[in-house]
Structure 1
Amino acid sequence: MKLLTSLLKISVKLTILGCVIGSLALATAYFYYAPKLPDVETLRDVQLQTPLRIYSEDNKLVSEFGEKRRTPISFNQIPQNYINALLAAEDRNFFDHIGIDIKGLFRAVFQLASTGQIQSGGSTITMQVAKNYFLTRERSFVRKFNEILLSLRIEQELTKEEIFELYINKIYLGHRSYGIQAAANIYYGKDIDQLSLAQVAMIAGLPKAPSAYNPITNPSRALERRNWILKRMHSLSFINDEDYETAKNEPVSAEYHGTQIELYAPYVAEMVRNELYQYFNDSLYTNGFRVYTTLNSTMQAAANQAVEDGLIAYTERHGYFGPEKPAATTSLTEENITATLEQQRTYGSLQPALVISTDEQQAQLYIKDHGPATLTWENMQWARQYKGPNRRGSKPTQAADIFSPGDLIRVRELSENSWRLSQIPRVEGALSALSPQNGAIRALVGGFNFNHNKFNRATQAKRQPGSNLKPFIYASALEQGYTPATLINDAPVVFHDNNLESNWRPQNYSKKFYGPTRLREALYKSRNLVSIRILRSIGIDTATEFLTRFGFDKDRLPHNLSLSLGSADMTPLELVTGYAGLANQGFKVSPYFIARIEDSDGNILYQAQPVTVCPECTYIADKSAPPRDFKQIPLQTEITGNAITPTQAETQNSTQPASEQLPTESPQTGQQVTTFPVAERIMQPQTAYMIYNIMQDVIARGTGRRALVLQRSDLAGKTGTTNDQKDAWFSGFNKDIVATAWIGFDQPSTLGRSEFGGTAALPVWIEFMEAALTNSPDQPIAQPDGLVSIRIDPKTGLLAYPGQEDAIFEIFPEASIPTEAAHNPALTNTTGTTQTEEIF
């Protein structure tokens, strides 16, 4: 008995000694490791890695760049069902404990003592936050001890709601999704607050092992995990019997949902990414920037469709290239059909399809992502064999003349269950549209399809504009004293140049000559020889100086008379920017596409302040506005330096599209003031109005007559076609929108004898403008002071004689009104006078 008592006393003493030693060890460890722990307060301002998102001006998602898909949300945005599901799955006592689970920790200690390893950490949500934000995933006592200390500190510094919010926004949940909002988007294509009870339970089951319990790749194990969580929720009285039974019986509905792009504008998205990457480098993809472009979603969608329709129409006019891939020897089993089509990409509206069978004048197809379909003769009889830009084969008489069973082809859906044979165009195109008031890019398409070819022809393809450049030569002449009625001789001319192999004999396209021609008529009928004579008269230096005012690169303007025929090299975006100066009545603007940049919290980091047309405005710099150069945005992880609060943003009209911001009236002087720089005038208002009025005739009675279908009186424009029909252009505008369409091959070659600006490019421009101007009434430009309209003789440009029936009205500067009248042939004793302008 004494021995037992002695042993008991020794055991008690040893236990006490062990506790003292343990406590001293823990205290020593605490004082050693505690000073080295990171500051928990930084969690309040943590910047989670969030992808770059690009939007249109009207908040349509254009693109997303970044490996981690994350959309942080606040605690009050988390549905209660998800909170309960996560508590049931991970930490039922989260809202009650001090940051650590004592029972779980003892269990971990026992495992460490018995096996030498920590198999389960007994981690709480708070401990997971400590590990995810501050520590590594190493399984060791030191790391676990630091995790415990950090958890205790986190609980002291942050509320339970803040801790929970940090956790659900940080965790990885599979398929590149980080945080529950991104996971809901990826697995169900919805926000977390739109999910059913069964779906939120499925999301709540992912943190433990995203790959093992993934409902897409491992639905059976995911279902088991989900139903276990539902059972736990039921046992904890988070849900009632009915909810539990309903959710438990709900089938697995998860499937992969990529980023939900709302507006297809990949060429602009890449322009944004490239522009910003030059400064931010890889941090661009993690800092959570939201970039709002100047794109108008209606106009961009119309531009996409117009370019695609125009290129497909061109390719159908020139014949069928044949099947994309001829029939293989493989049999047309369902498995082979599916495997073949899965390897093919869809480009725009062109769906890949396999020909299953042909029967006289119809064919049975299997279309990717659609299934079986019938192709009627009406929708494939166009497919005469392509033999060159000017030649096609004979008309097909049956479907077998076009393709065979097993051939891979392309089709477009015209309406439900109605398909048309098509093909990927070899020709390319581009369309650029700007606001002429400040250069905001409203729509931009750089080719048939970005996924097919990423080369951006709108900004990178330097091509000759041909007659599309003539309005600038004619406007320069008007600045030099010419009038729309000035006569210029449309007659043959030969130029001798030692730098050329032979003499240059320019011609009109018709190869005809029309003699003395009024300047107005020469432009709207696009007479080459008149343009050459005008340039020779005003001088190449004068014209070049005038062109550079509109932003054209002087080094790419040829210093010879070929400039009058558009032999300069320029991109569609450069050309449309020049046309903006014609559309806005003589002001220089520069194109821009980034309207503002926000951080992930909506603070404005950068706001564009483009030069803006406002003749009566005074520019007053707004010192409180965000920086005008995005390079002033700080590069540190926590982006706060130049941010302004949403309240400040509201006072600056920052949420209004930059292209629509208007000047305000100064309360002191009544004069209009603007915080945007005022655009520089580069052309006299009288000149601007005259060239606009002449270019209206291009549509009313010239080479752009097809645009009359738009039934508008405020449109003006110009066609352009280069030698051998290698490039086709149309540029046109009203006061609100200016657009340029281009069609051509990447490796310049003829489009065909029948292809011109008016046949290839103009239909694209018309389709775009029809949508862009919907619900926009005619907006004629007011005639400025200093111009008068008088009746003249259309043949001589002189004043009309009294009673002249074929007289027309023409616009003149007051100082250039003709002083002589045309000869009246009815007056036999009157000697006709000759216009004093030289007919050269």
Structure 2
Amino acid sequence: MIRLLKFLWWSFVALFCGLLLSLSGAYLYLSPSLPSVESLRTVKLQMPLKVFSSDQKLIAEFGEMRRAPIKFADIPQDFINALLAAEDDNFANHNGVDLTSLVRAGSELLKSGHIQTGGSTITMQVAKNFFLTSERSFSRKINEILLALQIERELSKDEILELYVNKIYLGNRAYGIEAAAQVYYGKSIRDTSLSQMAMIAGLPKAPSRFNPLANAPRSKERRDWILGRMYKLGRIDKERLEQAIAEPIDASYHGPQPELEAHYIAEMVRAEMVGRYGSDAYTEGFQVTTTVPSTLQNDANLAVREGLASYDSRHGYRGPELRRPGMTKSAWLEELAKHRSIGGLEPAIVTQVEKSGILVLLRNGEEQAVPWDSMKWARPFLNTNSLGARPQQPGDVAQTGDLVRVKRETDGSLSFTQVPAAQAALVSLDPSNGAIRALVGGFSFDQSNYNRAIQAKRQPGSSFKPFIYSAALDKGFTPATLVNDAPIVFQEAGMEEAWRPKNDNNTFLGPIRLREALYKSRNLVSIRVLQTIGIDYALDYVSKFGFNRDDLPRNLSLALGTANLTPMEIARGWSVFSNGGYKLDPYLIERIESRDGEVLYKANPATVPVAETFAKEQLKDELNGTTDSPPVLAERIIDGRTTYILTSMLQDVIRKGTGRRALAMKRNDLAGKTGTTNESKDSWFSGFNADYVTTVWAGFDQPESLGRHEYGGTVALPIWMSFMSAALAGKPEHLLPEPEGIMTLRIEPLTGRAAPPGTPDAYFELFKSEDSLPAASELDPALGIPGGPLPADQAAPIDLF
């Protein structure tokens, strides 16, 4: 018996020593390749890119992993108890490895022949999640054990738990418990109930199998088991247990909820961030603050959508998007699920037609009435210029099974509508530094992510004329200069047909002052002015506004706005008029911060000096340490007196010209210009005061006529007015003060000369101090003044170049 005991004892010693030597050998072999645990203290978890408005409203979030790291001190104790009950109830006592769990896992392996559970502690899972792969092998398990032992030696239990709860994947792109609480319950983990915490604590074991959105019964089973474990471990009492188990599984998907609809802006930021940081832009947790205030962006969204809807309704109803008569409600719901909301316009299927209106089925399964009054506009669309008969009853507009669009009004009712066929873009800049204050690239990003504000090159038409007039004012012209508004023919060598430009209404006014020619948008005057100042001079001059010279035609059609330019380029050029002659570069990103709040980038745009002391004051601030970088002064590219005089001329466009609709805004500080291209394919309005410069374009993506009676003043201008009215609400009138070197003289309207006392209809005009008024005999023949206008069929040919 003694011999047997000695044998067993020495066998045990040998086995123990052998195991010890094996583990020592494994440690000596593997330890050189083990990563440093110290790196866990500075680990950077993948976090998405977030884009905010200037007032910190969330615009968008980009990245595959939704994560919001949380500090250990902010983790509720109930959640810690639930997690430990589910994953590692001996966490507080072991040193990284739980021998009981490992033995149990080994036993299961021997019985079944394959790995059932890994016997991993939370510390071992931290080791695996941060340093190892998910490969199931003995070598990986040994590495996991060794790392866990090191982690426990170098980190506290609180630090280990903090790492674990922020790293684990919990389904639906949620990484970490804070992101999971937001995804499943739309709130912070600190605000969830005990039942909800237990549900989240049950996810690490199998995020897909116990996911409450995919498998609610199994999720409830897992949750209840965890609650029972908490009760057995003394973490909760029976009353709390019963209350938590009685709660239903109320999880629902809560994706990233933008607080501001600005998808085109978000995409511009995403592209710029990828350009700066590559793929790290999606994972490093950058937070980007843009220059766009949420209020102005909301105003812009509303202006574009209402403006396009108004234009669209004037041209009739194009019919339902689909017809699905005779289908069951469930089949209709399946069809509705295929169609998204576009610009707030919801898809709906007509289920009943009544005298008072129609009944429609919505995607959520509800049926709601649409009143007849909201349908009376829907005359049948025949073509751009023709409509069918006015409908007399709802049945003239819609039939059962029609898939239509409805808009929810502020009182909750529905109105009948359709998705506009035309598109529009709006850009608004701060003329003092080029900051983008609002940008809309189309009716809806969900409909089309093509950003017309920065990508669509279209002809600006007459909204380009102010650049030619500005060039003329710097070439010696004055607002009182007379130019002949008369027919003219251009014959280029080798051309079979001559070019015979004409005014929009095909009328001619004869000698006309430059001011009047601008607000009446006389094409022939613009051409004669460009011909007089010269193409090369004009191209050099206009290029200073930031336009690519290659985009500008080298012929007299330039005067009519035949260049292909984007709304952003036009707005940038117009900012020079509104700020007194300074060139700016539009910018969108105000600040980039790291995940820790460190400012990585702060915009320092070239800024227009607001006074002569601007540079001195900025320099003083820099020396006192109150600015982050030296100030950058914007480059003056044209005379401030030129912009002042031109602004006065553009104010007349609104007072008595093609922009008269804007008088309804009842402001005296607005200046602007309409633009309409041939056959009304493009509609423009650009305008400003000293606070904002805004450009609006409207048209079809594939150029076609907007309609016989549609112009810049009927399509683009109402959108501009809607936005600017909201943007300037409550703001005092603001135009730049008169610069030095301006004189005001009384002028004869017919000759443009200084008016003697008592001259009837004389008016006051602005001039630069060096300007001299010509006598009638000195009027420039190149402007076509002597002899008056010729009839159209007697116009003399003039070479085009």
Structures share a fold, TM > 0.5? yes
Look up the match of 1:188. 185
Separation in 1, partners of 2:191, 2:624: 54
TM alignment of 1:158-557, pairs within 5 A: 158-278=155-275, 280-328=277-325, 330-331=326-327, 333-369=328-364, 371-498=366-493, 500-557=495-552
Contact 1:617 1:673 in 2 (8 A): no
1:754 has 2:709 as partner? yes
Check 1:344–1:114 CA distance in 2 against 1; reply closer, same or farther (3 A cut): closer
Check 1:792–1:64 CA distance in 2 against 1; reply closer, same or farther (3 A cut): same
Check 1:114–1:391 CA distance in 2 against 1; reply closer, same or farther (3 A cut): closer
Contact 1:798 1:835 in 2 (8 A): no
Separation in 1, partners of 2:489, 2:82: 87
1:676 has 2:631 as partner? yes
Look up the match of 1:88. 85
1:696 has 2:693 as partner? no
Contact 1:617 1:678 in 2 (8 A): no
| 1:664 CA displacement | 6.1
| 1:365 CA displacement | 1.4
| 1:580 CA displacement | 1.1
Which among 706, 717, 721 is matched to residue 676 of structure 2? 721
Look up the match of 2:693. 738
| AA aligned opposite 2:751 | T
Separation in 2, partners of 1:53, 1:401: 48
| 1:743 CA displacement | 0.7
Separation in 2, partners of 1:32, 1:720: 78
Check 1:673–1:363 CA distance in 2 against 1; reply closer, same or farther (3 A cut): closer
| AA aligned opposite 1:155 | E
1:796 has 2:791 as partner? no
Look up the match of 1:784. 739
Q: Which runs of 5+ in 1 are unaligned?
A: 621-661, 821-832
Contact 2:622 2:630 in 1 (8 A): no
Contact 1:550 1:588 in 2 (8 A): yes
| 1:336 CA displacement | 2.0
Look up the match of 1:132. 129
Look up the match of 2:64. 67
| 1:817 CA displacement | 5.5
Contact 1:73 1:181 in 2 (8 A): yes
Task: Give the count of matched residue pairs.
Answer: 782
Separation in 1, partners of 2:669, 2:726: 16
Check 1:671–1:485 CA distance in 2 against 1; reply closer, same or farther (3 A cut): farther
Look up the match of 1:591. 586
Separation in 2, partners of 1:337, 1:233: 47
Separation in 2, partners of 1:478, 1:370: 64
| 1:327 CA displacement | 3.1
| AA aligned opposite 2:525 | V
Contact 2:622 2:629 in 1 (8 A): no
Look up the match of 1:607. 602
Contact 1:741 1:762 in 2 (8 A): yes
Separation in 1, partners of 2:122, 2:16: 29
| 1:438 CA displacement | 1.8
| 1:671 CA displacement | 14
Contact 2:619 2:631 in 1 (8 A): no
CA deviation profile, 1:759-784 (whole Å, cap 9, x unmatched): 00011111111222233221121000
Matched residue SS, 2:770: helix
Deviates more, 1:754-763 or 1:525-534: 525-534
Look up the match of 1:40. 37
Contact 1:219 1:252 in 2 (8 A): yes
| 1:64 CA displacement | 1.9
Separation in 2, partners of 1:547, 1:76: 61
Separation in 1, partners of 2:164, 2:554: 66
Contact 1:665 1:673 in 2 (8 A): no
Check 1:788–1:670 CA distance in 2 against 1; reply closer, same or farther (3 A cut): farther
Deviates more, 1:693-702 or 1:239-248: 239-248
Deviates more, 1:221-230 or 1:317-326: 221-230
Separation in 2, partners of 1:786, 1:421: 58
Separation in 2, partners of 1:423, 1:186: 33
| AA aligned opposite 1:327 | R
| 1:531 CA displacement | 0.8
Q: Which runs of 5+ in 2 are unaligned?
A: 785-801
| AA aligned opposite 2:103 | F
Matched residue SS, 1:415: coil
Separation in 1, partners of 2:631, 2:151: 47
Which TM-score applies when normalising by structure 2? 0.93
CA deviation profile, 1:199-234 (whole Å, cap 9, x unmatched): 122111111111121111111111122222223333
Contact 1:118 1:140 in 2 (8 A): no
Matched residue SS, 2:663: helix
CA deviation profile, 1:361-401 (whole Å, cap 9, x unmatched): 52111223472222222111111111111111111112111
Contact 1:791 1:810 in 2 (8 A): yes
Check 1:342–1:157 CA distance in 2 against 1; reply closer, same or farther (3 A cut): same
Matched residue SS, 2:442: coil
TM alignment of 1:759-774, pairs within 5 A: 759-774=714-729
Contact 2:579 2:736 in 1 (8 A): no
Which among 57, 71, 74 is matched to residue 54 of structure 2? 57
CA deviation profile, 1:179-199 (whole Å, cap 9, x unmatched): 111111111112222222221
Separation in 1, partners of 2:501, 2:20: 101
Separation in 1, partners of 2:17, 2:175: 44
Separation in 1, partners of 2:624, 2:513: 47
Which among 76, 86, 89 is matched to residue 73 of structure 2? 76
Separation in 1, partners of 2:147, 2:39: 12
| 1:135 CA displacement | 1.3
| 1:280 CA displacement | 3.9
Check 1:114–1:249 CA distance in 2 against 1; reply closer, same or farther (3 A cut): closer
| AA aligned opposite 2:438 | A
Contact 2:622 2:628 in 1 (8 A): no
| 1:735 CA displacement | 1.5
| AA aligned opposite 1:530 | V
1:576 has 2:571 as partner? yes
Provide the aligned C-alpha RMSD in A. 2.3
State percent identity of aligned pairs. 51
| 1:614 CA displacement | 1.9
Check 1:373–1:111 CA distance in 2 against 1; reply closer, same or farther (3 A cut): closer
Matched residue SS, 2:490: coil
Look up the match of 2:799. none
Contact 1:713 1:780 in 2 (8 A): no
Contact 2:609 2:615 in 1 (8 A): no
Look up the match of 1:142. 139
Check 1:58–1:526 CA distance in 2 against 1; reply closer, same or farther (3 A cut): same
| 1:172 CA displacement | 0.7
| 1:99 CA displacement | 1.8
Contact 1:665 1:672 in 2 (8 A): no
Contact 1:373 1:417 in 2 (8 A): no
| 1:745 CA displacement | 1.1
Deviates more, 1:223-232 or 1:150-159: 223-232
CA deviation profile, 1:232-267 (whole Å, cap 9, x unmatched): 333334334443333222221101111111222222
Contact 1:94 1:124 in 2 (8 A): yes
Deviates more, 1:41-50 or 1:754-763: 41-50
Matched residue SS, 1:421: strand
